[in-house]
Amino acid sequence: MSVIYFDQAASSFPKPKAVSEAVAMAIDEYGANPGRGGHQLANKAASVIFETRAKIAKLFAENDANNVIFCQNTTHALNQAIKGFPLQKGDHIISTSYEHNSVRRPLEYLKTEKGIRVTYLQSDHNGYISREQLLNEISPETKLIVASHGSNLTGAIFPVEMIGSVCHEKGITFLVDAAQTAGVIPIDMEQMNIDMLAFPGHKGLLGPQGTGALIVKKTVQLDPIFHGGTGSHSEEIEQPKQRPNCYESGTLNTPGIAGLSAGIDEVLNKGINNIFQHEWNLTKYALEKLQNIDGVTVFGPDINVERLAVIPFVINGTDVQEVAMILDQHYGVALRAGLHCSPLAHETIGTIDGGTLRASFGIYNTYEEIEKWIDMIKEIKEGLVG
């Protein structure tokens, strides 16, 4: 049975063929340790790493590739950015009411362990946060603002340009969680006044799992969260100061990074604006059909407001895990049910008890898949609640 994969917000699937070929080539043809020797194979691995770093820097308008830090995933990148940020007891961080646990848990850790004050700004269901609302929360102690670019629960897109301009005016560092938007919405760190950008390689950039990155502007100095071998300055006891080595202790994921490079090529070939348009068209189509099913409740932005390709919904009076299981086992549809690692966002939209189903689409999903899935939802609804 062929699977309809509607869990793109968790990890994109399938990957372009060029991605698995690049991973295989890295393992089969030059599987040496990048930056840990001067022989030809190590140099080849290092050059693939360097080219990918440069490609990522260009994609997000960062002019120094050494400010791109390879990570295992977004969570690793966010932990480095948040826990490595220089803060003192009494300092203040502002974030939003839609954050994933990968932002919320490090923030809560800083709150309880380091005495940092944290404010979560409420956005409305369309992702709107006003400038005044943000300005009202800023105090002389506010050192960092952390905001998700797009919600993994509702697809709402948040006003990062406005937040960035306020941060710029007030001299506050701005960290963006682009887990759901890298490769889907154009991001220009310079224009948007973003000081740190955390993102995965394995979602919109179409790379393998085990990849992600943090871009840190030269003006921000972080403490590394890991210490160890960097392949450089081995005689020194302390962690070297040079980027990117100071933040990249241990052997890098060369096969994953080679695959990520191929994934980014595919994104660039398709064009980020075209990718967004395709995903938004699918989402609008699915929303219209889903909202017309009696007994189904859909959450998130108004139907005419552009959102990411993420739709949270419930069949009223049913258990979301049961519906997800029927879709998976009986119909061959992969989607996720529950809290999606974002209890804060569920509290905000009023679905913390029980959570929701979540369908999320990607560049390879089609209208035909959505039509089939809508018929399945109707059948399941009839079967479970009549």
Three-state secondary structure call for residue 256? helix
Report the residue number, 179 or 380, with the smaller CB distance to ligand PLP. Answer: 179
Question: Shortest Cβ distance from residue 77 to ligand PLP (Å)?
Answer: 8
Q: Which is nearer to ligand PLP, 102 or 253 (CB)?
A: 102
User: Does residue 96 interact with ligand PLP by CB under 6 A?
Assistant: no
Asked if residues 246 and 232 have their Cβ atoms less than 8 Å apart, the reply is no
Which of 8, 5, 340 lies closest to 204 in space, CA to CA?
Answer: 8
User: What CA–CA distance (Å, rounded) separates 57 from 234?
Assistant: 27
Contact present, 37 and 25 (Cβ < 8 Å): no
DSSP reduced 3-state for 73: coil
The smaller minimum CB distance to ligand PLP, of residues 177 and 195, is found at: 177
Whole-angstrom distance, CA of residue 174 vs CA of residue 193: 7
Contact partners, residue 210, CB within 8 Å, separation at least 6? 72, 73, 201, 202, 253, 256
> Closest approach of Cβ 1 to ligand PLP, in Å?
26
Stretch that binds ligand PLP, among 72-80, 112-120, 184-192, 288-296 (CB under 6 A): 72-80
> Could you give the C-alpha distances from 232 to 53, 253, 308, in angstroms and in order?
18, 17, 41
Closer residue to ligand PLP, CB minimum distance, 200 or 355:
200
Taking CB under 6 A as the criterion, the residue among 74, 119, 142, 356 binding ligand PLP is: 74
Which segments within the chain are labelled E, that is strand? 4-5, 68-71, 92-96, 117-121, 142-148, 173-177, 196-200, 212-216, 296-298, 310-315, 333-334, 336-338, 356-360
Please say which residue, 35 or 127, places its beta carbon nearer to ligand PLP.
127
Interaction of residue 148 with ligand PLP, rule CB under 6 A: yes
Contacts of 96 (CB under 8 A, 6+ apart): 120, 121, 122, 123, 129, 147, 148, 158
Q: β-strands 142-148, 173-177: how paired?
A: parallel
**Contacting ligand PLP within 101-120 (CB under 6 A):** 102
CB of 211 to ligand PLP, least distance (A): 9
Scored b (16 or more CB within 10 A) or e, 348-378 reads bbebeeebbbbbbbbbebeeebbeebbebbb
Which one among 73, 96, 123, 230 touches ligand PLP, defined by CB under 6 A?
A: 73
Between 19 and 374, CB nearer to ligand PLP: 19
* Residue 95 binding ligand PLP, by CB under 6 A: no
User: Quick one: which of 8, 12, 52, 75 contacts ligand PLP (CB under 6 A)?
Assistant: 75
Nearer Cβ to ligand PLP (75/193): 75
Among 212, 224, 231, 312, binds ligand PLP (CB under 6 A): 212
Q: Pick the closer one to ligand PLP by CB: 52 or 318.
A: 52
Residue whose C-beta lies closest to ligand PLP: 152
Contact positions with ligand PLP (CB under 6 A) in 149-188: 152, 177, 179-180
- Sequence-separated (6 or more) residues with CB below 8 Å from residue 256: 23, 201, 207, 208, 209, 210, 211
CB of 305 to ligand PLP, least distance (A): 18
Smallest separation, CB 180 to ligand PLP (Å): 5
We find the least distance from the C-beta atom of residue 361 to ligand PLP, in angstroms, to be 15
Q: Residue 58's closest CA among 177, 214, 188, 242?
A: 188
Q: With contacts defined by CB under 6 A, name the span among 28-36, 73-81, 277-285, 347-355 that binds ligand PLP.
A: 73-81
Q: What is the binding site for ligand PLP (CB under 6 A)?
A: 10, 73-75, 100, 102, 148, 152, 177, 179-180, 200, 212
